[in-house]
Chains A and B, each alone.
Chain A
């Protein structure tokens, strides 16, 4: 119904375009040079007048109509229904909607509900019909206005370009609205959470068992929301990942930029970057089904007890994933060191490795630190590997052979499935998300700042 209206509107706009263009030819008497703008601009001008106001009204109407209809229907309900507490009223409204759309209803409808459903259907019909009438009138009126306004002196190009410019500006603000949306949605739910759980407990508590009691006497009903074990687990796994990724990535970058022949470099660099393109769920599968059992067997052979979801397996695989980040970022940084510094060192008789360790690395250190920080923030925010290969229980341990859990794992476990939206259990996920967002943001800002500062030094 509504998509059909949208299609009609598009067709009308296309018609408006040709009308406007022909009108422009007509008013110019076939002499285009008398016109201020090209005829196609007059066409676009008409099309915009035809489509844009109608589209805006359509969007506003379509978003408002359902809630307005609900309000009207509720206002027309008998008082005993109208004065129900909000949650029961919501249930009744849901029943009503199901009744209208012909779905299965939770209870047998009584006369009042049936009556309300009829009113709902009527209002919906009236709303839709009047929407059609209003939109079509607006579109035709807009086109007619533009058609009448067309004259050789009408500055159609400027008008059209103004609108396009406005559209460009609106598109570019999407990024700001996204950030705003992230911050507000996460912050809002977190504030609700901190009303139920004190912020100090969340930040400094060492117990994490996000249970909320259904009954007062339930076993294990004490919900504990101390996030320290989660962050410890995250740091442990990220730490293992960095132990793998930093030496391999850095040495790979050094070898590629200082030792490798151009041919080898042309092959090895993209081959290494394949690692960055593999979806993380594939790494998770690899970690859970291949690496973790392997580590367990090796551990058993050495007489060690290794948990089947050990931090080591998740960390190792995450490290593999991060190698290309470290290597390509460090590669850029190393290549930015001026050749004259290398030449100076060689002239003093230093070997290549001495030049690298005594000249290149100290010079590139800030940039390398920046790239490592970026890699750390990547590791902290990584989700799928840890969801599939790390554990669920929050152990506060530094032993990489035991199972730990991470912030992202907890967010996923708290939010998958159906939960009510006001329990601290669900809200805790948003608080964790806020922490995650803040931590990665800070890491990124520091890293970008360091890298930029360092670049300026050599430019």
Chain B
């Protein structure tokens, strides 16, 4: 043990520490920089994913808002439509309009012959063209006998070709469209007889097996009815529960149990709610499958915890002085809540509910369980009609191989995201406008 002299010790010691610290400083600062970079990279990665997904979906989806049409010279031949000349609506309804379309196509390319060639030519127009002519004649029977140039819906393959999504360099057998068809389309395009118009079908019709005729109106209405039921059920019950737990409930085991339940329900996987809906609403109560009513019931059970939790937060943010003042003026407890606390907490509750509804709008897993995943052409007219919802429609379309459906799926996603942005924006505006800091 040779102790250093007391005077020299601190100096030597501190010089040692200084050198040690200084020697390590550069390394430590480099480590600090590295750490900072990790953090920045993580954030950028996260934001990059957001941008990538939106770019990917918008890039795929925006062409779907335009649809290809072909201008065909149509002669409304009385001999085909109404041979008897009676103008009987039933006869007009069932006439062979497809023959008119075929005749029009032949008129454009008179030198196409042979059965397969002609069939390929007819395939350029969608089967919707027939119905289009039928609609026109029904609206205006005076058309019969006249000749007109009419824009008819082109088939999905033509649409895909015109949008440049078919590789022309591939061998004929490997692409969905034949060489002669490409030739005709090019000729039509050169003559200005092919045009892309705004796609109203996407918003005005239900599902279809033909991509060019498939629309999201059925799914949108299904979502609307489902969300209507969800809101009508979950909002009153959620608000009532929040009010009870926050304002009236005594602190006891029972209310603790309710609280634990609500917190657990918020974390139960959504598919389990689907199992509940299947077992209870459909098998036990015998409600119809695929109905927005059942979907709404299931989604309202899922949304309830969100609304209750938001509602309680809104209620606690109302200062106790308001309550005391009301009670002091002789109001009963219910009057105090109904006249003062609830109106002040309402913006917060509505914000929470809108966010809950936005989440319900995007939910699809539990709805698969209760049969809202069927192929439904008709637009639902009520809460008992079979229906599907927008996210499930996206799921159904995403399974289909046609390129035109990929496009439409992305377009449907864009519509869904637009609704979600709208709802969340509404919630933010509501919060900004009416939120009061006490």
Contact = CB atoms under 8 A, between A and B. Distances in A.
Whether A and B are associated in the same complex: the answer reads yes
Interface string B26-41: 0011011011101111
A415 B365 CA distance: 12
Contacts of B257: 176
A444 B29 contact: no
Contacts of A178: 261, 265, 276, 301, 304
A185 B275 contact: yes
Query: Which residue, A254, A259, A279, has most C-beta atoms of chain B within 10 A?
Result: A279
Contacts of B269: 377, 380-383, 408, 436-437, 440
Given A171-B244, A271-B47, A282-B417, A182 B273 contact: yes
Nearest to A385: B365
A115 interface: no
Given A182-B272, A286-B57, 18 more contacts: A161-B332, A176-B261, A178-B304, A181-B276, A256-B43, A271-B50, A272-B47, A277-B358, A279-B361, A282-B53, A285-B398, A288-B398, A353-B36, A387-B365, A415-B278, A415-B368, A416-B369, A436-B269
Interface stretch (B68-76, B149-157, B198-206, B235-243): B235-243
Contact of A186 (B243, B279, B409): B279
B237 A174 contact: yes
B228 interface: no
A186 B278 CA distance: 10
Interface in A217-273: 247-252, 254-256, 258-260, 268, 271-272
Contact of B50 (A168, A274, A290, A384): A274
A212 B279 CA distance: 21
A434 to B, nearest CB: 9
B314 interface: no
B272 A437 contact: yes
A282 B369 contact: no
B283 A433 contact: no
Nearest to A354: B28
Given A175-B308, A176-B258, A247-B42, A165 B365 contact: no
B420 interface: yes
A415 B265 CA distance: 22
Contacts of A277: 358-359, 362, 420, 424
A206 B38 CA distance: 41
A383 B42 contact: no
B252 to A, nearest CB: 13
Contact of B42 (A176, A255, A278, A285): A255
Contacts of B121: none
A440 B279 CA distance: 20
Nearest to B282: A421
Given A168-B240, A175-B304, A285-B398, A280 B362 contact: yes
Interface string B255-281: 001100111110111111111101110
Nearest to B279: A185
Contacts of B392: 281
Instruction: Bin the interface of chain A by size.
Output: 35 or more
5 contacts: A289-B398, A351-B32, A354-B28, A411-B271, A444-B267
B50 to A, nearest CB: 5
B359 to A, nearest CB: 8
Contacts of B50: 271-272, 274-275
Interface string B4-46: 0000000000000000010000001101101110111111011
Contacts, number: 246
Given A172-B245, A175-B241, A179-B261, A189 B364 contact: no
Contact of A254 (B39, B46, B358): B39
Contact of A412 (B308, B358, B368, B398): B368
A103 interface: no
Contacts of B248: 165, 168
B387 interface: no
A388 interface: yes
Contacts of A179: 261, 264-265
B406 A282 contact: no
B416 A279 contact: yes
Given A320-B49, A429-B275, A279 B420 contact: yes
B280 A384 contact: no
Contacts of A268: 43, 47
Contacts of A274: 50
Nearest to A374: B267
A349 B29 CA distance: 12
A346 B277 CA distance: 56
B268 A323 contact: no
A351 B392 CA distance: 51
A455 interface: no
A416 B396 CA distance: 12
B391 interface: yes
Contacts of A260: 43
B92 interface: no
B190 to A, nearest CB: 34
A248 B275 contact: no
A169 interface: yes
Given A275-B49, A278-B417, A290 B244 contact: no
Nearest to B300: A174
A172 B276 contact: no
Nearest to B362: A279
A157 B336 CA distance: 13
Nearest to B244: A168
A440 B268 contact: yes
Query: Which residue, A258, A353, A374, has most C-beta atoms of chain B within 10 A?
Result: A353
Contacts of B57: 282, 285-286
Nearest to B238: A171
A224 B231 CA distance: 42
A351 to B, nearest CB: 5
